Amino acid sequence: MKQRAIRVTVNGRTHERTVEVRRTLADFLRDDLDLTGTHLGCEHGVCGACTIVVNGEAVRSCLMFAAQVDGAELLTVEGLADGERLHPIQEAFWEHHGLQCGFCTPGFLMTLYCFLREQPDPTESEIREAISGNLCRCTGYQNIVTAARAAAGSLRAGAS
């Protein structure tokens, strides 16, 4: 088949669409759902800019097809903030200058979202390993690591 009907929940909202089967998940989010917060850098699984959360796990949305997420729950960068209130990870990136141009940021945020849930109190080297699949050309990663540590702290404080 060349087309497939899918039903997918993105950031809590359910969408029903018919997609061409070769449409990547990233293109589906950006072009069909107008969720352009997910960025596309390399489109072959190297840069990590398109990282989103599918059924609770961080994955590269350029390496999946929209046809594969029928029935899945997705979280993209648009789903992080609570209305006007930024998510603690976003807040920490803002506070610690974890971005300059911002192109890679959605990928970092979604990667860290999953990582900090699994490892709420990481060491610096664990953070560096966790974000090793995301490329940033501006910051030199220093402030991203600082932001990740700060985010871990405020998420722990919020949880207790």
Partner 1 sequence: MKPPPFEYFAPASVKETLDLLREHGDQAKLLAGGQSLVPMLNFRLVRPGALIDLNGVPGLDGIREEPGMLRIGAMTRQRAVERSAVVRERCPLLAEAMPQIGHVQIRNRGTIGGSLVHADPAAELPAVVAALGGELIVRGAAGERTIAAADFFVGYLTTAVAADELLVAVRLPVAPPRAGHAFVEVSRRHGDFALVGVAVTVTLDGSGVCTSAAIAVTGVGPAPVVAADAVAALVGQRPATTAFEEAARRVSAQLEPHSDLHASAEYRKQVGGVLTRRALALASERAAGASR
Q: Which residues bind partner 1 (CB under 8 A)?
A: 1-2, 4, 20-24, 27, 43-45, 48, 51, 57-60, 62-65, 67-68, 111, 114-115, 129-130, 132-133
Minimum distance, C-beta of residue 79 to partner 1, in the bound complex (Å): 18
User: Which CB, 86 or 128, lies closer to partner 1?
Assistant: 128
Q: How far is the CB of 1 from partner 1 (least distance, A)?
A: 6
Identify which of residues 3 and 97 has a Cβ nearer to partner 1 in the complex. Answer: 3
Nearest to partner 1 of 59, 147 (CB atom): 59
Angstrom distances, CA of residue 37 to CA of 1, 66, 70, 82:
30, 17, 21, 15
Q: Beta strand pairing status for 13-20 and 3-10?
A: antiparallel
How far apart (Å, rounded) are the C-alpha atoms in residues 89 and 104? 14
Instruction: State the nearest-atom distance from the C-beta of 138 to partner 1, in Å.
Output: 18
Question: Per-residue DSSP letters for 50-98?
Answer: TEEEETTEEEEGGGSBGGGGTT-EEE-GGGTSBTTBPPHHHHHHHHTT-
Cβ closer to partner 1: 20 or 91? 20
